[in-house]
Amino acid sequence: MAGERYTFDMSAPRRATNISLNSDLLEQAKALGINVSRACERGLAQQIAELRDRQWLEENREAIQSSNAYVEAHGLPLAKNRPY
């Protein structure tokens, strides 16, 4: 992704949960003073965004292909207005 984007309510209350993490990663994170909960949230938010992007592309694949085929056959609809 070009930049980080958060598509969740960052002010929502936090809830305790149990997760299993690679012990080496956890030790390195602790040694570096990384907030593991926040890092997990960022990783989860990124993975959710990537999956939603893929789902959107799949759901809109037909329309995208149709639009691309139109442009390939006829050119850009407003190309005559471009200031070359």
Per-residue pLDDT band for 3 (boundaries 50, 70, 90) equals low
- For residues 20-43, give the mean pLDDT: 97
Model confidence, pTM: 0.71
Q: Is the pLDDT of residue 17 over 80?
A: yes
- For residues 30-46, give the mean pLDDT: 96
| Mean pLDDT (the chain, rounded) | 91
Q: Are 26 and 35 in contact (CB under 8 A)?
A: no
Q: Is the pLDDT of residue 1 over 50?
A: no
